[in-house]
Amino acid sequence: MAPSKIDITHLPSTQYVNTKSTLDSEDKDHLLHRSFIDPPSLVERAEGVNLFLSDGRKIIDACAGAAVALIGHGNKEVHQAIVNQLQKVSYVHTQSYTTQPAEDLANLILQGSPHGLEKAFFVGSGSEAVESALKLARQYYFEKNEPERLHIISRRQGYHGNTMATMTISGNLGRKVPFEGFSYPHTSQVSPAFAYRYMQEDETEMEYTPRLLREIEDEFLCVGPHKVMAFIAEPVAGSGIGSATPPAGYLAGLRALCDKYGVLLIFDEIMCGVGRTGTFFAFEQEGNAVPDIMTIAKGLGGGYAPISGVLVHKRVVDVLRHGSKAFNHGHTYQAHPTSCAAALAVQKIILRDGLIARCAAMGKILESMLRTELRDCWSVGDIRGRGLFWTVEFVKDKKTKETFDPRIHFGARVQQAAFDEGVALYPCSGTVDGKRGDHVMLAPPFIITEEELSTVCKVLREAIESQQQLFS
Whether the Cβ atoms of residue 422 and residue 59 lie closer than 8 Å to each other: yes
Whether the Cβ atoms of residue 369 and residue 327 lie closer than 8 Å to each other: no
User: Domains of the chain by range and CATH?
Assistant: 8-74+354-471 (3.90.1150.10), 76-352 (3.40.640.10)
> What is the rounded distance in angstroms from the CA atom of residue 146 to the CA atom of residue 140?
9
> What is the rounded distance in angstroms from the CA atom of residue 68 to the CA atom of residue 298?
5
**pLDDT at 26 (0 to 100):** 52
CB atoms < 10 A from the CB of 366, how many?
A: 26
**pLDDT at 304 (0 to 100):** 98
**pLDDT at 306 (0 to 100):** 98
> What is the rounded distance in angstroms from the CA atom of residue 442 to the CA atom of residue 447?
14
- Which candidate, 190, 208, 234, places its Cα nearest to that of 386? 234
Residues β-bridged to residue 255: none
**pLDDT at 292 (0 to 100):** 98
> What is the rounded distance in angstroms from the CA atom of residue 89 to the CA atom of residue 331?
18
Q: What is the pLDDT along the chain (472 residues), one digit of tens a residue?
A: 333 333 433 444 434 445 444 444 456 789 999 888 888 999 999 999 999 999 999 999 999 999 999 999 999 999 999 999 999 999 999 999 999 999 999 999 999 999 999 999 999 999 999 999 999 999 999 999 999 999 999 999 999 999 999 999 998 787 788 888 888 999 999 999 999 999 999 999 999 999 999 999 999 999 999 999 999 999 999 999 999 999 999 999 999 999 999 999 999 999 999 999 999 999 999 988 999 999 999 999 999 999 999 999 999 999 999 999 999 999 999 999 999 999 999 999 999 999 999 999 999 999 999 999 999 999 999 999 999 999 999 999 999 999 999 999 999 999 999 999 999 999 999 999 999 999 999 999 999 999 999 999 999 999 999 999 998 7
**pLDDT at 120 (0 to 100):** 98
> What is the rounded distance in angstroms from the CA atom of residue 270 to the CA atom of residue 300?
9
Distances (CA, A) of 16 to 63, 181, 405, 429: 12, 29, 19, 11
**pLDDT at 13 (0 to 100):** 40
Residues β-bridged to residue 152: 187, 230
Residues of the chain with pLDDT > 70, as a percent, come to 94
| This prediction's pTM | 0.94
State the DSSP string of 322-383: TTTSS-S---TTTT-HHHHHHHHHHHHHHHHTTHHHHHHHHHHHHHHHHHHHTTT-TTEEEE
